[in-house]
Chain A
Amino acid sequence: MTLTSPLAQRSSNAFASGKLQGYVPGVILLTSLALSWALFSAFRPADAEYEVNLIVVVLAAIAIFAVLLWGVSYRVEGRRRAVDRLASLLVSFAFLVALTPLISLVITVLTNGLVRFDADFFTLSMRNVVGEGGGAAHAMIGTLIMTLTAGAISVPIGLLTSIYIVEYGAGKRLTRWITFFVDVMTGIPSIVAGLFAYSLFEILLGPGTRVGVSGSAALTVLMIPIVVRSSEEMLRLVPNELREASFALGVPKWLTILKVVLPTSIAGITTGVMLAIARVIGETAPLLIAAGFSNDFNFNLFQDRMQSLPNFVYYSYVAQGSNPEAYLDRAWAGALTLILIVMVLNIGARLIARFFAPKTSR
Chain B
Amino acid sequence: MAKDPGIESDIRARGQKVTERRGDRIFSGSARGAGSFILLILAAVSAFLLAEGFPAIVADPAEIGLFDGDNFWQWVGPLVFGTLWAAALALLIAFPLAIGVALFISHYAPRRIAEPLGYLVDLLAAVPSVVYGLWGGAVLAPALQPSYTWLAENLSFIPFFAGPASGTGRTILTAAIVLAVMVLPIITAVSREVFLQTPVLYEEASLALGSTKWEMIRTVVLPVGRGGIISAAMLGLGRALGETLAVAMVLSATGIVTVNLISSGNPSTIAANVALSFPEAYGLNVNALIASGLVLFAITLVVNSIARWIVNRRADFSGAN
Binds A, one of B62-70, B128-136, B151-159, B160-168: B128-136
What's the tally of chain B residues with a CB closer than 8 Å to chain A?
A: 94
Instruction: Decide if A202 is an interface residue (CB 8 Å cutoff).
Output: yes
Chain B residues, Cβ within 8 Å of A104: 135, 139
Binds B, one of A32-40, A128-136, A277-285: A277-285
Which of A174, A236, A313, A346 interacts with B130 by CB under 8 Å? A313
> Bound state CA distance, A285 and B273, in angstroms?
11
Instruction: Decide if A178 is an interface residue (CB 8 Å cutoff).
Output: yes
Instruction: Decide if B249 is an interface residue (CB 8 Å cutoff).
Output: yes
> Bound state CA distance, A252 and B3, in angstroms?
12
Interface of B, helix, strand, loop or mixed by DSSP: helix
How far does the Cβ of B318 sit from chain A's closest Cβ, in whole Å?
Answer: 9
Known contacts A199-B51, A252-B24, A254-B26; A92/B138 CB under 8 A: no
Verify B134–A185 contact, CB threshold 8 A: no
Binds A, one of B72-80, B207-215, B260-268: B207-215
Verify B123–A185 contact, CB threshold 8 A: no
Q: Which residues 17-47 in B have Cβ within 8 Å of A in the complex?
A: 21, 23-24, 26-28, 30-39, 41-42, 44-45
Which of A98, A177, A253, A278 interacts with B39 by CB under 8 Å? A177
The contact size tier of chain A is 35 or more
Instruction: Decide if A326 is an interface residue (CB 8 Å cutoff).
Output: no
Select from chain A the residue with minimum beta-carbon distance to B243.
A189
> Bound state CA distance, A195 and B1, in angstroms?
38
Verify A199–B30 contact, CB threshold 8 A: no
Which of A92, A177, A195, A239 interacts with B320 by CB under 8 Å? A239
Chain B residues, Cβ within 8 Å of A257: 27
Verify A284–B130 contact, CB threshold 8 A: yes
Chain B residues, Cβ within 8 Å of A160: 30-31, 33-35
Verify A94–B139 contact, CB threshold 8 A: no
Instruction: Decide if B126 is an interface residue (CB 8 Å cutoff).
Output: yes
Instruction: Decide if B245 is an interface residue (CB 8 Å cutoff).
Output: yes
Binds B, one of A118-126, A294-302, A334-342: A334-342
Known contacts A95-B100, A170-B2; A293/B279 CB under 8 A: yes
Q: Which residues 199-239 in A have Cβ within 8 Å of B in the complex?
A: 199-200, 202-203, 207-208, 221, 224, 228, 236-239
| 7 other A-B residue contacts (CB within 8 Å) besides A198-B290, A310-B128 | A83-B212, A101-B135, A174-B35, A178-B35, A185-B41, A252-B24, A255-B23
Closest 4 A-B residue pairs measured CB to CB? A282-B128, A94-B100, A189-B242, A160-B34
12 contacts between A and B (CB under 8 A): A91-B103, A95-B105, A104-B135, A184-B301, A196-B48, A199-B49, A283-B128, A288-B275, A289-B274, A313-B134, A317-B134, A346-B123
